[in-house]
Amino acid sequence: MTALIDVENLTLKFRTDEGLITAVDNVSFSLGTGEVMGLVGESGSGKSVTAKALMHLNAKNAVYTPESKITLHTESGPVDVLSLKTPRELNIVRGGAVSMIFQEPMASFAPAISIGKQMVEQLQLHGDYTKEQAKRWSIEMLDRVGISDAPKRFEQYAFELSGGMRQRAMIAMALSTQPKLLIADEPTTALDVTIQAQVIDLMKDLVEEFQMGIVFITHDLGVVAQTADKVNVMYLGRMIEEGPVREVIRNPKHPYTQGLLAALPKLDDLDSPLTPVPGDIPSPLERPSGCVFHTRCSKIVGDICKAADPKDRVIDETHKVACHIYDEVPA
């Protein structure tokens, strides 16, 4: 496993009429080839914005602090993603070495252009393909992701495919440029469980085959447990816990991670009541002082949580948590 992407001190704010809004606050992580990272959090936690930063894809009103640094390691040396400016330079992170799968495949395909034409177009944009080669390769990719009758599907439009099929086509398209890093933003959320299981299996096979790294964004911890090697939990733009998937799920240290796990309905214990994380995620305009989670935390220990921003505490080499009281919280 070699280093693929390093994110250091990523802080991202949006300029709005109401002032600067912090969306991502001092986030660092790195990912290697063949590694799957689960990025978990509620809506509004900043997980999609973080992922988009990897492609330098955030809206024009996004402001990155000078300390923010994203380094993508490619065959031709490291690339400083945030310094890329022209569309030509950006090609490398937008479909070249980095691809993205979105949550709603219907909204991600152009409705009036056939699936095949869209696949060929992006291949020609990113690689040295003739139209004929691009077509052959696209059909092969469609076939590879388990779409039956690929030559026929190649000619069809997005609305003619079912939800699961569309998501597969999306995956085929994202992978056809053979990216090093795949960003999957809630790729299974809109799918039925049965189809979700198929897509998860497919993605696992593809990681093995292509040895790419995946950032898997989801709010479903079950999906994370089934796919990821390591997990990063985000809350209001902060990375509050990170570690290997077994560690984080079996031995969560942050009260928020524990809360997310407790809120999940469990099939093997129908009697246990569902415990929600109390309250709602605060508006980014009203970021709480101190620990960002203190307004909803059930284990708050007085003033320190309200006043001081918890630093990352290292539990062991790979497992980190940002909480003042983690060692007092029984697992």
Q: Between 20 and 263, name the residue whose CB sits nearer to another protein.
A: 263
Residue count (the chain)? 331
Q: Which is nearer to another protein, 78 or 278 (CB)?
A: 278
**Footprint on this chain of another protein (rule: CB under 8 A):** 42-44, 162-165, 192-198, 200-201, 204, 219-223, 225-226, 245-246, 249, 259-261, 263-267, 270, 273-278, 280-281
Q: Which is nearer to another protein, 112 or 270 (CB)?
A: 270
CB of 135 to another protein, least distance (A): 26
Angle between helices 163-176 and 131-144 (to 10 degrees): 130
CB atoms within 10 A of CB 144: 18
Helix (H, G, I), strand (E, B) or coil at 78: strand
Specify the residue, 69 or 204, whose C-beta has the smaller distance to another protein.
204
As measured in angstroms, the least distance from the Cβ of 73 to another protein is 27
Q: Which residues pair with 52 in a beta bridge?
A: none
Residue 246 or 311: which CB sits closer to another protein? 246
Residue 283 to residue 177: CA distance in whole angstroms:
38
Q: Which among 192, 189, 14 is positioned nearest to 102, based on CA atoms? A: 189
- Comparing CB distances to another protein, the nearer of 96 and 259 is 259
How far apart are alpha carbons 268 and 280 in whole angstroms?
A: 28
Which CB sits closer to another protein, 140 or 192? 192
Closest separation between CB of residue 148 and another protein, Å? Answer: 9
CB of 128 to another protein, least distance (A): 36
- Residue closer to another protein by CB (options 36, 182) is 36
CB 218 within 8 A of CB 36: no
Residue 180 DSSP one-character state:
S
Nearest partner of 199 among 160, 146, 161, judged by Cα = 146
CB of 225 to another protein, least distance (A): 5
How buried is 156 (Cβ within 10 angstroms: 0-12 exposed, 13-18 middle, 19+ buried)? middle
The least CB distance from residue 44 to another protein, in Å, is: 8
Q: Which residues contact residue 229 at a Cβ distance below 8 angstroms, ignoring those fewer than 6 apart?
A: 35, 36, 37, 244, 245
Give the separation between CA 186 and CA 86, rounded to whole angstroms. 29
CA distance 51 to 236: 15
* Inter-residue contact 230 to 244 (CB < 8 Å): yes
* CB of 169 vs another protein, minimal distance in Å: 13
Q: How far is the CB of 307 from another protein (least distance, A)?
A: 25
Give me the phi and psi of 33, to 5 degrees please. -65, 145
